Amino acid sequence: MHYKIYTNTEQAWDVMLESISAATSSIFFEMYIFSDNTFASHNFVDILSQKSISGVKVKMVIDSFANLSDNSLKKLKDAGVELFFFKKLFRSTHRKVLVVDEKVAFIGGININKFFRKWHDLQVRIEGKIVNHVMRSFARVYKKCGGRDPFVLKYDKQRLSQRGKIWFFEHFSHRGPFRLNKYYRDKIDYAKESILIVTPYLMPNQWLIVALKRAVERGVNVEIVMPKVATNPKIANWSNYLYMNKLYQYGVKFSLTNEMIHSKVMLIDEQEGILGSQNVDVFSFDFNMEAGIFFTEKKLIDNLYDITRHWKEDSVLFTPKMRNNYFFDHILDFSFRIFEYIIKCFNYFTI
Cα separation, 221 vs 284, in Å, equals 24
- pLDDT tens over the chain, length 351 residues: 799 999 999 999 999 999 999 999 999 999 999 999 998 899 999 999 999 999 999 999 999 877 788 999 999 999 999 999 998 766 889 999 999 999 999 999 999 999 999 999 999 999 999 999 999 999 999 999 999 999 999 999 888 777 789 999 999 866 655 689 999 999 999 999 999 999 999 999 999 999 999 999 999 999 999 999 999 888 889 889 989 999 999 999 999 999 999 999 999 999 999 999 999 998 899 889 999 999 999 999 999 999 999 999 999 999 988 865 654 565 666 666 676 666 666 555 555
Q: What is the pLDDT of residue 168?
A: 95
The answer to whether the CB of 67 falls within 8 A of the CB of 262 is: no
Range of the domain at 205: 179-350
Q: Phi and psi of 168, rounded to 5°?
A: -85, 145
Structural domains counted in the chain: 2
- Which of the listed residues 114, 135, 163 is the one where a domain comes to its end? 163
Question: What is the model's pLDDT at position 129?
Answer: 92
Would you say the pTM of this structure is higher than 0.85? Answer: yes
- Say if residue 129 is in the same domain as residue 6: yes
Is residue 172 in a domain?
no
* Residue 92 shares a structural domain with residue 187: no
Cis check: omega of the bond before 233, within 30 degrees of 0: yes
Tell me if 54 sits within 8 A of 80, measured CB to CB.
no
Residues 26, 149 within the same domain: yes
- Cα–Cα distances (Å) from 100 to 59, 121, 251, 253, in that order, read 11, 21, 44, 40
Instruction: CATH number of the domain at 293, please.
Output: 3.30.870.10
Are the beta carbons of 16 and 106 closer than 8 angstroms?
Answer: yes
The reply to whether 133 falls in a domain is yes
Q: Shortest CA distance to 197 belongs to which of 238, 120, 252, 246?
A: 252
344 in the same domain as 235? yes
Question: Which of 121, 136, 163 finishes a domain?
Answer: 163
Output b/e per residue, 306-333; b: 16+ Cβ within 10 A.
ebbeebbeebeebeeeebeeeeebeebe
**253 shares its domain with 309:** yes
Least Cα distance to 156 among 166, 174, 142, 145 occurs for 142
Instruction: Kindly state whether residues 15 and 156 are assigned to the same domain.
Output: yes
The answer to whether residue 173 is domain-embedded is no
- CA–CA distance, 313 with 256 (Å, rounded to integer): 10
Q: How many Cβ atoms from other residues are within 10 Å of residue 64's Cβ?
A: 11
Residues in contact with 73: Cβ distance below 8 Å, sequence separation at least 6, in sequence order: 83
Are 146 and 89 found together in one domain? yes
